[in-house]
C-alpha cells in the first residue's frame, strides 16, 4: 500500500513523496487521512528556516522528539478514518473519525493510544482545530481573566481568534484585539471583539487609550495576550498594559530575535510577563487538572464556537507547495489553510 507524504527538504522547499505504508502492528491502527491543517505559526517557522536548531521539533509528539534536521516531516492536525485495526485493538475503533498529532500524510499507522476519537456530534472540519483550541484554553488558564477587566489580544490568526472567542464569553469591560490584516480584523469582530484595530497605523495608541479609558481608570489594559508571532507585538503589549498588569506570551518566535523595551514602562508598572506553553499545565493547577481534562474542555469549546468558519482555503494535497507559498507571501488573504486528500 502506498501513501503520499509532505517532506520538508530545506527552507522554502517541500516535496510530495510516495512511500510504502508500514504494516499494522498488533497495538496499532491504520488511518486514512481526510483533512490536515497547516500551522501558520510553528510549521511556517520550519518552512521558512526559522525553527531553532537547539530544541526538539516537538517534545510531545513521537517521532518529532529530535532537533531540526532537514529533510523531515511535520504537522500536528490530522483528521482521518480508522480503516484497519491491529489484533490487540478494540474493533469498535474501525470506521471512527480520529484526530492525530501526525504529519501531513495520506495514510499512516499509529499506536491506538495515540489517536483521539472525534466525538460523534463534532464536524470533522471543526475537529481540525483541536490542538489550537487546546492552546487557546491554556492561554486563558494562564491569563486568568477577571470580571470587568480590560483585555487586549495582539494577533488574530487562528489561535488569536480562538482566544478572542473564549474571552468574548467572559463579562469583560473591554475586549480589544489588534491585527494588521483586514480579513482577520473582520473575523475578530464577528467572533466577539468589541473593537479590532490595525496596530501598525499612526495614532493607534490614542485609539487604544480612548477605548480603555473608564471612570478614574487610565487607558491601559489589565491583561494582554501576545499571539501575533511578531516580537514587536510584545513591545506593543508592554506599552498598553497598566500597573501590575499581566502579559501572556503565547507566540513562539523561533530564531527571530526579540528586542524588548524594558525601560520605564516595564519596571515602573511592575508588569508580569507570563510564558504560556501548551505542552505542560501551569504547576499550581496540575494537581487538579490533567491534559485529558483540558482536552475535554477544548472539545466543549469547539462545540460552542464551531471554528471551521475560520477556514479560508481548502487546497488538494498535491498542490501543497501552493498552500505554503500563499501563507508565506500573502498572509493577509489567509486565516486557516487546510489540505484535502483525494480519499477525503
Q: Name the average pLDDT for the chain.
A: 92
Instruction: Cell 487546546: give the residue.
Output: 134
Distance CA 283, CA 303 (A): 28
Distance CA 294, CA 100 (A): 16
Task: Walk me through the domains of the chain, giving residue ranges and CATH numbers.
Answer: 2-123+306-340 (3.90.180.10), 134-275 (3.40.50.720)
Question: Is residue 270 classed exposed, middle or buried when 0-12, 13-18 and 19+ CB atoms within 10 A define those classes?
Answer: exposed
DSSP, collapsed to helix, strand or coil, labels residue 206 as: helix
What local confidence, expressed as pLDDT, does residue 321 receive? 96
Say if residue 213's pLDDT is above 90: no
Instruction: Cell 493607534: give the residue.
Output: 204
Distance CA 338, CA 215 (A): 46
Q: How confident is the model at residue 53 (pLDDT cuts 50, 70, 90)?
A: low
Say if residue 67's pLDDT is above 80: no
Q: How confident is the model at residue 344 (pLDDT cuts 50, 70, 90)?
A: very low
With b for 16 or more beta-carbon neighbours within 10 A and e for fewer, the 121-157 pattern comes to ebebbbbbbbbbbbbbbbbbbbbebeeebbbbbbbbb
What local confidence, expressed as pLDDT, does residue 261 receive? 80
What local confidence, expressed as pLDDT, does residue 150 receive? 95
Alpha-carbon torsion angle 199, 203, 207, 209, nearest 10: 100
Instruction: Please give the share of the chain, as a percent, with pLDDT higher than 90.
Output: 76
What local confidence, expressed as pLDDT, does residue 88 receive? 95
Measured CA to CA in angstroms, residue 136 lies from 12, 13, 84, 267 at distances of 28, 30, 33, 28
pTM of structure = 0.92
Q: How confident is the model at residue 66 (pLDDT cuts 50, 70, 90)?
A: low
- What is the grid cell recorded at 262? 524594558
Distance CA 220, CA 243 (A): 8
- Of 46, 28, 21, 47, which Cα lies nearest the Cα of 105? 21
Amino acid at each position: 500500500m502506498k501513501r503520499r507524504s509532505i517532506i520538508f527538504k530545506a527552507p522554502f522547499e517541500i516535496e510530495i513523496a510516495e512511500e510504502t505504508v508500514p504494516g499494522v502492528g498488533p497495538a496499532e491502527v491504520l488511518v486514512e487521512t481526510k483533512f490536515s491543517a497547516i500551522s501558520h505559526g510553528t510549521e511556517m517557522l520550519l518552512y521558512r528556516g526559522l525553527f531553532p536548531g537547539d530544541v526538539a521539533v516537538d517534545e510531545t509528539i513521537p517521532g518529532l522528539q529530535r532537533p531540526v534536521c532537514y529533510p523531515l516531516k511535520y504537522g500536528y492536525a490530522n483528521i482521518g478514518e480508522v480503516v484497519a485495526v491491529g489484533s490487540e485493538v478494540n474493533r469498535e475503533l474501525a470506521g471512527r473519525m480520529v484526530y492525530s498529532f501526525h504529519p501531513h500524510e495520506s495514510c499512516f499507522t499509529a499506536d491506538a493510544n495515540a489517536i483521539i476519537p472525534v466525538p460523534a456530534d463534532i464536524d470533522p472540519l471543526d475537529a481540525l482545530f483541536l490542538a489550537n483550541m487546546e492552546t487557546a484554553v491554556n492561554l486563558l488558564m494562564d491569563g486568568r481573566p477577571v470580571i470587568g477587566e480590560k483585555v487586549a489580544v495582539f494577533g488574530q490568526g487562528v489561535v488569536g481568534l480562538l482566544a478572542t472567542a473564549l474571552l468574548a464569553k467572559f463579562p469583560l469591560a473591554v475586549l480589544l484585539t489588534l491585527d494588521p490584516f483586514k480579513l482577520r480584523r473582520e473575523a475578530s469582530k464577528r467572533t466577539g471583539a468589541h473593537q479590532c484595530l490595525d496596530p501598525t497605523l499612526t495614532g493607534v495608541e490614542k485609539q487604544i487609550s480612548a477605548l480603555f479609558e473608564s471612570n478614574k481608570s487610565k487607558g491601559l489594559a489589565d491583561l494582554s495576550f501576545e499571539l501575533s508571532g511578531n516580537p514587536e507585538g510584545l513591545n506593543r503589549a508592554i506599552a498598553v498594559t497598566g500597573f501590575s498588569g499581566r502579559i501572556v506570551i503565547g507566540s513562539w518566535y523561533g530564531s527571530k530575535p526579540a528586542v524588548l523595551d524594558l525601560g520605564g514602562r516595564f519596571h515602573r508598572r511592575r508588569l508580569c510577563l507570563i510564558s504560556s506553553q501548551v505542552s505542560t499545565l501551569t504547576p499550581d493547577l496540575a494537581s487538579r487538572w490533567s491534559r485529558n481534562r483540558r482536552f475535554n474542555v477544548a472539545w466543549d469549546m469547539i462545540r460552542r464556537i464551531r471554528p471551521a468558519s475560520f477556514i479560508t482555503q481548502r487546497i488538494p494535497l498535491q498542490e501543497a507547495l501552493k498552500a505554503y507559498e500563499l501563507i508565506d507571501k500573502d498572509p493577509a488573504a489567509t486565516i486557516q489553510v487546510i489540505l484535502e486528500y483525494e480519499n477525503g
